[in-house]
Amino acid sequence: MSLVLLFQLIYKSTWLLFVALPALLTNQPFPRGMAVFFVIWVLMLPFVIPWSTLFSR
């Protein structure tokens, strides 16, 4: 389960950096609702991921 959360953190952060941020800076259309959800999720995930379990393997 923690690997899935880690994958989500990496995937959503990458999407925000390489899709949403450039579109925002160049005033191009992008799904704002999805971007807001991803930002909230990326900010919450580090507190939800059980880091000790993840690194003990």
Q: How far is CA 21 from CA 4, 17, 29, 44, in A?
A: 24, 5, 11, 19
**Containing domain of residue 7, as a range?**
2-55
Total domains in the fold of the chain: 1
Backbone angles phi, psi at 29, to 5 degrees: -70, 140
Q: Is 90 exceeded by the pLDDT of residue 55?
A: no
pLDDT of amino acid 37 = 97
The pLDDT-based confidence of 54 (bands split at 50, 70, 90) is confident
50, 10 Cβ separation under 8 angstroms: no
